[in-house]
Amino acid sequence: MKKIYFFVVALLCNSQLFAQGHYTGSSLNPNDYFAPHPGWIIPVWYGFADMNYYNAAGDRSDQLINPAPDNPTELNIKQNVKTHSFILMAIYGGKGKILGADWGMMIIPTLNSPTANIALDYYASQTGSGNYVFTNKSLGIGDMYIQPVWLSWTKGKFSYAVNYGVWAPTGRYKPHDLDNGGHGYWSHNMRVAGKMKPIPKVSVSVATTLEVNQWQKDTDFKEGSHFSVDVGGSYLLDKRGDEIGVFGHYLTQVSDDKGTNGGFASDRIAGIGAFGSYWLKPMRVGLMLRVTQNFGAKNRFAGTAVQTGVNFLIPSTSTH
């Protein structure tokens, strides 16, 4: 059966919303870890998230205790943070093979309001106890994701993939600033994924991602690395390629923060969600809707995220 791809920008809409580091789980639909057919895919997306802060005990809280060296601050914070993101992606599926694999590349610039992660950075950078409210409503350029390595192999019912991507600090960043639209550091994402199709209309996938962060601009701080596991399944509804599916993730910090600034509490988060896709014009124009609900968060903002948008496909004249 012909492979159908409906790429997702939850990579942006999720990952910048409630994470330390850039990546969080459930950023892709189950089939989207694998290289696309030759041609271009241009998704245009909007994302909204509604988050609350969860402390080290995993409880929703209005108090953030920052255990950074020489700064044992306890802050009363605004509980709720709502964020908005607008994303225009460019995805390319290459012709031929590389190392026997299908291949592709992607680039994702972003336009977003300050995210919950930035709110958390703002709170944690305060130097004294007190009350702080994150009320900035600005909109600006965010950090950019670039994935130059995207390889996948298929043998019978099984597919395997290797991805490497980097988050570039293109968003505005100034230490302790409320107007920040980016995180001020590079993040490297290394991923391996596998997929099985037990029957033609059903696919099940699992992916693991390691994110390694670099030093933050103009600060003495380096965010620890994170490791995530994503699982999911999808069901093909018809020959047009309309699809529904479910997904879940678990992400945890696997190395300590470094430096003298920022938050020094390890974090984790889990989540589940569902998606649906519908082709307005088969293999040319399609709609996508996704909903993600987080749980099990510690030292993070977590909540509900929704993404919706349109995908435009420009297939190559040749196929696999």
What pLDDT digit, counting tens, does each position of 185-237 carry?
Answer: 999 999 999 999 999 999 999 999 999 999 998 888 888 999 999 999 999 99
Length reported for the chain: 320
Band (23; pLDDT cuts 50, 70, 90): confident
Average pLDDT of the segment spanning 10-17: 41
Integer Cα distance of 294 and 290 in angstroms: 13
Q: State how far the Cα of 76 lies from the Cα of 79, in Å rounded to an integer.
A: 9
In this prediction, residues 7-25 reach a mean pLDDT of 55
- pLDDT at residue 289 is higher than 80: yes
Residue 164 has a pLDDT of: 98
Listed range (56-65, 266-275, 310-319) with the worst mean pLDDT:
56-65
Show the tokens assigned to 14: 């999720």
Residue pair 143/166 in contact by the 8 Å Cβ criterion:
no
Q: What value does the mean pLDDT of the chain take?
A: 82
Mean pLDDT of all residues in 244-255: 95
Bridge partners of 210, per DSSP, are: 190, 227
Using CA atoms of 152, 212, 168, 291 in order, give the dihedral in degrees to the nearest 10. 70
Instruction: Note the pLDDT of residue 84.
Output: 77
Q: Say what the pLDDT of residue 52 is.
A: 83
How does DSSP assign 235-276, residue by residue?
Answer: EE-STT--EEEEEEEEEEE-S--EESSS-----EEEEEEEEE
pLDDT value of position 16: 35
If one compares 110 and 34, the residue with the highest pLDDT of the two is 34
**CA distances, 265 to each of 3, 9, 238 (Å):** 42, 28, 47
23 or 248: which carries more pLDDT confidence?
248
pLDDT band at 25 (very low <50, low <70, confident <90, very high): confident
| Residue 64 predicted with pLDDT over 90 | no
| CA dist., res. 247 & res. 207, Å (int) | 11
* Whole-number Å distance between alpha carbons of 121 and 114: 11
Mean pLDDT over 80-88 rounds to 76
Residue-range domains of the chain with CATH: 10-315 (2.40.160.40)
Q: What is the pTM of this model?
A: 0.84
Averaged pLDDT, 4-32:
62
The whole-number average pLDDT for the span 302-307 is 91
State percent of the chain over pLDDT 90: 49
pLDDT of residue 249: 97
Contact in structure between 13 and 25 (CB atoms under 8 Å):
no
